[in-house]
Amino acid sequence: MVRKQTEGRTRSRWLIFLIDQVIVCWSLSLSLFVVMQFNFSIVQRGYFFIYLFSYLLITSSVFLAMRIHTGIVRYANLDDVYRIFMATLISGICYWLFIELIVTPYLKKGWTGFNLALIFNFFISSSLLILLRVYVRQGYNHLNIPSEHKVETVLIYSRTGSAIILKQALEAQRENNFNILGYINNDPDKVGKYIQQKKIYHSSSISYLKKKFKLEKVLICGDDLDYGERKSILDKCMSEDIKVSLLPPPSQWACGRLSNSQIKELNINDLLQREPIVLNKEKILSEITGKRVLVTGAAGSIGSEIVRQLIGYSPELIILCDQAESPLHELQLELMDRYPDCRVVIFMANIQDRLRTYQLFDLYRPELVFHAAAYKHVPLMENNPTEAIMTNVFGTKNIASLSKRFEVEKFVMISTDKAVNPTNVMGATKRLAEIYIQTLQNNENENFNHTGTRFITTRFGNVLGSNGSVVPRFRAQIDAGGPVTVTHPEITRYFMTIPEAVELVMEAASMGKGGEIFVFDMGEAIKIVDLAINMIKLAGLAPQKDIDIVFTGLRPGEKLYEELLNNEEATMATHHRKIKIARVKHYLSGAVEELLDNLWKAKCSGNEIDMIGLIKKMIPEYRSNNSVFEKLDSPVAV
């Protein structure tokens, strides 16, 4: 099989070589006849065939030496044009020298008009050789489109240089079936002009182009494009039901060529992504480099991303603590493949287990702790409040108190916006954990002889694509053909991507002095039904036509609107515009300890009503919604 393919390629190369030689010989003949005004008798008496055979020998040698015939004609580019010009020029010069120094003295006869014929020949032969390649390329492009595939009309949005390279790559990869309409560029000096026969359009023309040319897709290449302009184009495409595909810049193409696997369809993370976060990496490096770092909940969405980003700051050791066996195993395999030189240890433990967590601290002596372990699903915790309290409150108490005992430098807790005016058990337990963390910091401030663990809390909303969150659920429902279930048509949430959230966690951890609750700028709240509609559109389907959207009603503990985290009246600014410090009520450590003691006793008695009642006394803003615990709330005065 290999031999047959090789022979086929060889025959193709020699066929090109033969055609090239026919062209150059015909071109020389035509030039001579033109100069001699088509007087055949004069041409024949002038030893025409000797001149022609000599030219054939020289051009064959030059073309073979420069490997003109080895290029694949349908992929010919400007470099090939340049090589053809050089080959014909060198052949002409060598031929002129050969005729003047050898043939003419030997025959003792010159040929009037010979030099003029050579000039004609140069232009005719080079033009014909180039046109051959142009027509073969164009013919291949038109005839090689698989009939069973639909051709999509597309625009390219990229930097000018990358856009040209992308156009050429797509034309060479005809299996992609793209009809390139032109380019998007909002530079006034470029709009309306042409690059390689393709027009440059302003982004405001997208709607017009869809109507006139049936534009179906926009290809966005590169991640260094203007953020505001990129977002504007994405919004326009979504509103016009135009598909968007994302491609890496040419520098990241495999082996310098664009492959089909690198053409990614737009997903909801890309659509909701905000302006890139600027980090003080030198400060973060000084906090993490060369230190032993513990990450609890390391197998979770946030915990695993914390681990990935920590590796970039070269810690001495990362301890991965979790009780979820399979996800922890998967993360271990990933780290072994991607970061073989990073020192990572796995420590399986339930943070509720005081003895087991003590062994962890005693064995590895972490210097930094990122506490991401928690139960987070609102309806599930509303029906299992004991487990929420045991993990989110007492589990946090175990890790925090051990951090203090073993003189950890910084303890960073991952909290949630649901801790603000909580309406469910999950949010209330996270708020109680925040309160306990702050009392530990207050005790540290009073104890000047202690080395001083700094306790820091970071609080943010929903993250896109986290385990069990709405985005993967919607995606699974769309893949199954629907319906997509939304609890309420007016429900809204704040979202950010997992890497975004963790980057801000790192920045907050580096700036924290102890006792702060850092809240992140989550942008604008998003209607969940709009999120569902966009995800259906991104799948190339029509909402309420191809995929139904069904409203199921609020779940236990769920509320319509999450609290704003960046309210200027409730926060203080920091040097980072996306991170603020929440102004919250401070509690006396004695009162908190007494509550936790009573909460433990209620837990031991198995009385969940008493347990929630105690939490509501400590957190009066905790008022249950759509829950069996609403009966514990006092009536609100009207």
* Catalytic sites, residue numbers: 418
Residue 80: how many CB atoms within 10 A of its CB? Answer: 18
Tokens 């060889």, residue?
10
The DSSP secondary structure of 281-335, one letter per residue, reads: HHHHHHHHTT-EEEEETTTSHHHHHHHHHHHTT--SEEEEEES-HHHHHHHHHHH
Helix (H) or strand (E) holding 580: strand 579-582
For residue 506, give the nearest of 301, 223, 270, 305 by alpha carbon: 305
Distance, first Cα to last Cα, the chain: 87
Output Rg (C-alpha) for the chain, integer angstroms. 36
**Residue 47 φ/ψ, nearest 5 degrees:** 55, 50
Both tokens of residue 10? 């060889």
Cα dist. 383→388, 389, 468, 540 in Å? 10, 12, 17, 37
Tokens representing 276 are 């890139």
Q: Rounded to whole angstroms, what are the CA distances from 528 to 66, 231, 331, 520? A: 63, 20, 30, 20
DSSP helix/strand/coil, 134: helix
CA dihedral 353→355→356→361, nearest 10 degrees, is 120
Structure tokens at 156: 């390219």
**Residue 35, both tokens:** 């100069």
Task: Give rounded-to-5 percent helix, strand, coil for the chain.
Answer: 55, 15, 30
Selection from 237, 107, 167 nearest residue 537 by Cα: 237
| Burial group, residue 37, by CB count within 10 angstroms (0-12, 13-18, 19+) | exposed
DSSP, collapsed to helix, strand or coil, labels residue 629 as: helix
Burial of 229 (0-12, 13-18, 19+ CB in 10 A): middle
Separation of alpha carbons 314 and 305, rounded Å? 15
Q: Are 471 and 500 in contact (CB under 8 A)?
A: no
Write phi, then psi, for 527 (nearest 5 degrees). -70, 130
If phi > 0 it is left, if psi is from -120 to 50 it is alpha, else beta; for residue 626 that is: left
Q: What is the DSSP string of 421-469?
A: S--SHHHHHHHHHHHHHHHHHHHHHH-TTS--PEEEEEEE-EEET-TT-
